[in-house]
């Protein structure tokens, strides 16, 4: 652990020095300088994300947020987000037989950032989250992110969202997950010319008449009515 922190400190100092030098230079960065800065940043993100504390993982997510805001398309950003999205679910660290890396807030932020990448790979990573995570706040963010991406080429996005919400609907209906689902379905329908999966239509029908607050029920009813304008009414 001490060795890893030393590496992180050294990388952080180098990164800060490069950033300061660039901010104080009137000249544009060359391609080589830009590449060097990104390489250092990616190393810092990778190493920080692997330190087994919540605080360091949140710092890694801050760096990722900055990279995404600059329009970074480095695949290592997505790979690190995938890694962080599994903390405490598929990637489990134990101490004295106790899970010590269950960080729902880390997984939630990772899901949010994956939604900003908007690629097929990011979509697949989000689907893995909703398959394996049980935290409502993580699932809500992952569903919202899938709506932002909007990819449903093979129908797997809609099918998996419908599956996870149906699982909650049976035992413990969650209003926040339901509203995230309605919003995601609407965005996906607009981007794909409608929703043709009967499971999605049936889920909206259940939400509109189920144990949800009135505004959520009304949103589900409205989306069902709007489906006609998307050219989709389930099996038609």
d(CA 49, CA 82): 11
pLDDT tens per residue, range 3-32: 454 545 445 544 554 454 444 444 455 767
For residue 109, CA distances in Å to 31, 173, 199, 212, 231 come to: 31, 23, 28, 26, 34
d(CA 49, CA 81): 9
d(CA 20, CA 7): 20
Structure tokens, 135: 């935290």
Nearest to 182 by CA among 149, 163, 208: 208
- Phi (first) and psi of residue 196, to 5 degrees: -110, 5
pLDDT tens per residue, range 80-128: 999 999 999 999 999 999 999 999 999 999 999 999 999 999 999 999 9
pTM: 0.84
- Bridge partners (DSSP) of residue 99 are 94
| pLDDT on residue 39 | 87
Q: Which domains does the chain have, with CATH numbers?
A: 1-149 (1.25.40), 151-236 (no CATH)
pLDDT tens per residue, range 157-206: 999 999 999 988 888 899 999 999 999 999 999 999 888 889 999 999 99
| pLDDT on residue 232 | 44
Structure tokens, 211: 């144990």
């Amino acid at each position: 652990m001490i060795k890893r922190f030393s590496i992180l400190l050294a990388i952080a100092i180098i990164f800060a020095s490069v950033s300061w030098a660039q901010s104080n230079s009137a000249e544009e960065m060359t391609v080589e300088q830009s590449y060097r800065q990104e390489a250092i940043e990616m190393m810092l993100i990778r190493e920080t994300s692997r330190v087994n504390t919540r605080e360091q993982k949140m710092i890694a997510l801050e760096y990722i947020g900055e990279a995404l805001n600059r329009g970074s398309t480095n695949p290592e950003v997505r790979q690190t987000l995938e890694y962080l999205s599994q903390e405490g679910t598929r990637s489990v660290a134990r101490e004295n037989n106790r899970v010590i890396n269950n960080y729902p807030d880390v997984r939630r932020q990772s899901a949010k950032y994956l939604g900003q990448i908007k690629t097929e790979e990011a979509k697949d990573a989000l689907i893995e989250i909703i398959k394996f995570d049980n935290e409502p706040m993580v699932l809500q963010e992952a569903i919202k992110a899938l709506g932002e991406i909007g990819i449903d080429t093979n129908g797997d996005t809609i099918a998996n969202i419908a599956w996870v919400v149906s699982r909650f609907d049976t035992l413990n209906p969650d209003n926040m997950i339901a509203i995230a689902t309605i919003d995601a379905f609407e965005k996906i329908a607009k981007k794909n010319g409608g929703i043709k999966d009967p499971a999605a239509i049936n889920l909206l029908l259940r939400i509109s008449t189920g144990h949800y607050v009135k505004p959520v029920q009304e949103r589900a009813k409205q989306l069902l009515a709007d489906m006609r304008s998307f050219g989709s009414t389930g099996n038609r």
